[in-house]
Amino acid sequence: MTKGTIMTATFRELPPPVYFTRNGACYLGDSIDLLRRLPEGCVDLVITSPPFALLRQKAYGNKDQAEYVDWLCGFGVEVRRVLRETGSFVLDLGGAYQRGVPVRSLYQYRVLLKLCDDVGFYLAEEFFWYNPAKLPSPIEWVNKRKLRAKDSVNTIWWLSKSEWPKADVRQVLAPYSERMKTLLRNPDAFYRPKDRPSGHDISAGFGADNGGAIPSNLLQISNTESASSYLRLTRLVGVQGHPARFPAALPAFFIKFLTEEDDLVVDIFAGSNTTGSVAERLGRRWIAMERDAKYVASSALRFMEHLSEDEILARFASLVDGSSNDPLDLSGSPTLFDHARGERGA
């Protein structure tokens, strides 16, 4: 069975999406119900940032810390089922404090342990997302009482279905430093190979230009996009953007690292659908799942930047008022979703 045939069958198992593009589709509904409709072993990467287990309720919805671990790991069971044997599950989780005291919650570590010990995932590697633009928080312990440093790092668990997930770090090489560029231009003038104190010989290939440096598992990505087309278009149609958006560079790193062109990427808490828009740009198939209708509607704006303002207003209005029973076509060309829809007689 070809990848295209598998993809067609995958889309055919799902209900009609709210909108679709050349490479993917966005669905409104509870993602655990939507995941259960997907065939086993059809997804290459699930990457998502669920609502965190915070003490205060947010507009986008979040669970209390006491029930969070079981709630999130329930999704993990279905995620593992739909992943290919070489597939990965990348989970972004922010930290939190216990109620009323300056002591950290261990919820994100309990999630990790349960996903590995009970659900059956492997921890391929832990990453840490440092956001230098993050505002000081929590206010009580950082700003008011000055008892703690500000929380600027999220943990990102790279989990895999098997011990050998698909991955190629050459796809995410970091730019060389200026010092390294100087060394590469004339390595003999700047470096004399010798054994390290540990006894390792690092001379082999040290002066070779490999196109970039191996990235570390500390990802420094500012979450600032005040001038993005998404926010510009939300202002045009008169709605608020999603309050907790992925910076595009974050899903881009893992999509390039862990998938190949035409692989299927899924976000089960899609929000403003940054993941889908990045996957579209990188030539991956994608499925976005989101239970909040207003966020689904505004996420379609990520795929309308090539349209005129009148067309954007008209298409967005059709999503909001439900004037059309058909999914909104933002593809401009035939898609696998079109083929799947035809097979089921829609």
Are 92 and 154 contacting, i.e. CB atoms less than 8 angstroms apart? yes
Is 50 labeled as catalytic in the residue annotation? yes
What is the percentage of the chain residues whose pLDDT exceeds 70?
79
Q: What is the three-state SS of 280-313?
A: HHCCCEEEEEECCHHHHHHHHHHHCCCCCHHHHH
Lowest mean pLDDT among 42-51, 68-77, 328-337: 328-337
Task: Mark residue 199 as left, alpha or beta (left: phi above 0; alpha: psi -120 to 50; beta: remaining).
Answer: left
CA–CA dist 225, 221 (Å, integer): 11
Whole-number pLDDT of residue 95: 86
The residue with greater pLDDT, 66 or 233, is 233
Task: Return phi, psi of residue 189, to 5°.
Answer: -80, -20
Catalytic residue among 31, 49, 88, 298: 49
pLDDT score of 332 more than 50: yes
Whole-number pLDDT of residue 51: 85
Q: Which amino acid is at 73?
A: C
Q: Which residue, 125, 112, 221, 206, is CA-closest to 169? A: 125
What is the percentage of the chain residues whose pLDDT exceeds 90?
60
All structural domains of the chain = 3-170+216-231+246-293 (3.40.50.150), 175-213 (no CATH)
Whole-number pLDDT of residue 246: 82
pTM: 0.86
Report pLDDT digits (tens) over 109-168.
Answer: 999 999 999 999 999 999 999 998 888 878 889 999 999 998 899 999 999 999 999 999
Catalytic residue among 17, 44, 50, 247: 50
Is 310 labeled as catalytic in the residue annotation? no
Are 258 and 166 contacting, i.e. CB atoms less than 8 angstroms apart? yes
Is 267 labeled as catalytic in the residue annotation? no
Is the peptide bond between 138 and the residue preceding it cis, with omega within 30 degrees of 0? yes
pLDDT score of 338 more than 70: no
Report pLDDT digits (tens) over 6-63.
Answer: 566 677 789 999 999 999 999 999 999 999 999 999 999 999 999 876 544 444 344 5
Antiparallel, parallel or unpaired: β 153-160 and 122-130? antiparallel
Catalytic residue among 17, 51, 92, 267: 92
Report pLDDT digits (tens) over 233-273.
Answer: 999 999 988 877 889 999 999 999 999 999 999 999 999 99
Provide the 10 A C-beta neighbour count for residue 85.
Answer: 12
Are 265 and 88 contacting, i.e. CB atoms less than 8 angstroms apart? no
Sole residue written with tokens 């090489």: 173
Whole-number pLDDT of residue 335: 54
